[in-house]
Amino acid sequence: MADVRLVDIEKKYGNFLAVPQLNLTIEDGEFLVLLGPSGCGKTTTMRMIAGLEEITSGDIEIAGKRINDKPPKDRDIAMVFQNYGLYPHMTVRQNIDYPLKLRGVDRAARTRRVQETAEKVELEALLERRPSELSGGQRQRVALARAIVRTPSIFLMDEPLSNLDAKLRVTMRAELKHLHHELGVTTVYVTHDQMEAMTLASRIAIMREGRIVQLDTPKRIYSEPADLFVAGFIGSPSMNLIDGAIAGGVFTAPGVSFPVDQPDRDDVVLGIRPEDLEISTAPDAPVIGKLYALELTGESTLVTLRTGANSVCARGPADHEAEINAPCHFVPKPGARVHLFDRPSGHRLDGLSAKGQTL
């Protein structure tokens, strides 16, 4: 097992700066998730840790040792690639077996391990096929099996579940969580799926344009997003973000009026999550508009109202029924958290930044 330290690492492709001066310490045994939009540098960062991409400057340390010049095979890392990276001429069995064979594990132990691992990822029936004879999701499971067939010092997983159907993704997510609990191997995991990030991570690093904008536990990322980018990225449906101004201790926007403990200022964004709002008939509710859409999700109904240029969404009870275009009022639930951000910089407003405001 090992901790991983990235010290001022930078990656340039020609003149293009893909990752500028990244600093990140992944603790021993931690499950760190890199989360961010396409092109923000997640794969590049993983490939630098794996040694598959040369770093332009900076240092990478594993277990306290600088490993910049160590070839990939000597880093004791198992990686799941975004594009699978399977050996096309080998069968599924041979692909999964390869890391064990490379390390001289004896044949009987290898056969047993390959079988056990194939069962974990539901591939037992496909062991004699070649990658070209598999679907995308099946290939992805082979790549996952090849990584978890042995216990390395570090796992690097680049969107290992993205091509699986919803049901299998949830099963595999639990499998990975269990595996991490059993083995405690330091893991860096890339995903676009914020639910996956929230459920798997010890900490989440949210990346944007090669930079880490927030590094925190899932709980804090959710309850205290550092800026508008993070606030909008985490949560489904995402946080309601409403442009307005504060005057006399009240945040105001068309149809919206919230008491806040902040000095007067313009260019403010108020954020409140759909799960922190409930439907009300109160005439003085803080959010008043017309019902725009009702979406039943199974366990709840997403209720969207329109007021001025804003749409505001609340998570209501599954049995909620109402007419589209009818008046619709929302109030914060007891204990609801209201977030305030500075519009020009996007930063969370100080004063509220430590704990958020509870109504």
Ligand X SMILES: Nc1ncnc2c1ncn2[C@@H]1O[C@H](COP(=O)(O)OP(=O)(O)OP(=O)(O)O)[C@@H](O)[C@H]1O
CB 234 within 8 A of CB 225: yes
Q: How many residues does the structure list for the chain?
A: 359
Distance between alpha carbon 189 and the CA centroid of its chain, in Å? 9
Q: Is 239 in the site for ligand X (CB under 6 A)?
A: no
83 binds ligand X (CB under 6 A): no
* 87 near ligand X (CB under 6 A): no
Alpha-carbon 33 to chain mean position: 6
Selected from 41, 131, 274, 316, the binder of ligand X by CB under 6 A is 41
Partner interacting with residue 39 (select from Mg ion, ligand X, none; CB below 5-8 Å by kind): ligand X
Residue 44 interaction partner, one of ligand X, Mg ion, none, beta carbon < 5-8 Å per kind: ligand X
Number of Cβ within 10 Å of residue 278's Cβ equals 20
Picked from Mg ion, ligand X, none, the partner binding residue 160 (CB below 5 to 8 A depending on kind) is none
User: Binders of Mg ion among 56-115, rule CB under 5 A?
Assistant: 82
Using CB under 6 A as the binding rule, whether residue 18 contacts ligand X is answered as yes
Please, what is the Cα angle at 148 between 69 and 114, to 5 degrees? 125
Residue 285 binding ligand X, by CB under 6 A: no
Listed ranges 36-44, 222-230, 282-290, 316-324: which one lies at the site for ligand X (CB under 6 A): 36-44
* Least distance between ligand X and beta carbon 202 (Å): 21
Residue from 8, 12, 13, 111 touching ligand X (CB under 6 A): that is 13
| Helices of type H across 67-152 | 92-102, 107-120, 136-148
Beta bridge partners of 355: none
Neighbours of 116 (CB within 10 A): 12
Gyration radius of the chain's alpha carbons: 24
Q: Is 180 in the site for ligand X (CB under 6 A)?
A: no
Among 24, 33, 43, 315, binds ligand X (CB under 6 A): 43
Rounded to 10 deg, the angle between the 107-120 and 136-148 helix axes is 130
Q: Say if CB 118 and CB 134 are below 8 A apart.
A: no
Assess 163 for contact with Mg ion (CB under 5 A).
Answer: no
Strand partners, 246: 251, 265
338: exposed, middle or buried (Cβ count in 10 Å: 0-12, 13-18, 19+): buried
Q: Of 4 and 260, which CB lies nearer to ligand X in the complex structure?
A: 4
When CB distances are held under 5 to 8 angstroms depending on the partner's kind, the choice from Mg ion, ligand X, none that residue 38 binds is ligand X
Nearer to Mg ion, 196 or 276 (CB): 196
Binding ligand X by CB under 6 A: which of 8, 25, 39, 261? 39
C-alpha span between 175 and 289 (Å, rounded)? 44
Closest CB to Mg ion among 210 and 289? Answer: 210
Which chain residues interact with ligand X by CB under 6 A?
13, 16, 18, 38-44, 82
Which chain residues interact with Mg ion by CB under 5 A?
43, 82
